[in-house]
Amino acid sequence: MMSKKWLKRRKRIFEIIEVGNDLDYISRSYDFLNVGAIIINMIVSIMHTYSNVQEKYGELLLVIEGVTVAFFAVDYLLRLITARFMYPKLKESHALRKYILSFNGVVDLLSFLPYCLPVFFPMGTVAFRMLRIVRIFRLFRINAYYD
């Protein structure tokens, strides 16, 4: 049985990571941080394709990419923890499964997973780099922030 305090914290986390209203400054700040991370990640991914930029700023680009991908991974974990509030009519396990299999859940997973997979499967590095293009779908999430 979960404590009420932990449940209350999870509910607040959900309120923060979901698109916030204008009066919840913490939630709105998270929205801007999320959009910023998406845009920065896309810019870095594009810049990394230019060999002269890669030669000069390659290390910095990799660090920035690592930070934004880590943010996406934490965001995904927070959404897993709070899936219950996303689908309040479902049991917790069903809500979790529904989020994982949803379009947003798959996009969120694919926004960081290809970055991590070469660590476990070094032979597939090129294929995993190609999968990183899937992060562009994360741009669809920006639309939610502008509504």
pLDDT at 144 over 60: no
Total of domains in the chain: 1
Structure tokens at 118: 């070469």
Measured CA angle at 133 (ends 83, 42), to 5 deg: 85
pLDDT of residue 126: 55
Quick: pLDDT tens for 72-86. 999 999 999 999 999
Question: What's the predicted TM-score (pTM) here?
Answer: 0.83
What is the H or E stretch that residue 75 is in? helix 51-81
Q: Tell me the mean pLDDT in the region 52-60.
A: 91
Q: ∠ CA(82), CA(72), CA(139), 5° rounding?
A: 100
Summary mean pLDDT of the chain: 83
Give residue-wise pLDDT tens across range 97-122: 999 999 889 888 888 887 776 666 66
Q: Is the pLDDT of residue 131 over 90?
A: no
SS3 content of the chain, % helix, strand, coil (to 5): 85, 0, 15
CA 68 from chain centre, in angstroms, equals 9
CATH code at 82? 1.20.120
Comparing 22-36, 88-102, 115-129, the range with the smallest average pLDDT is 115-129
More confident residue, 61 or 137: 61
Q: What is the domain range of residue 108?
A: 4-15+23-146
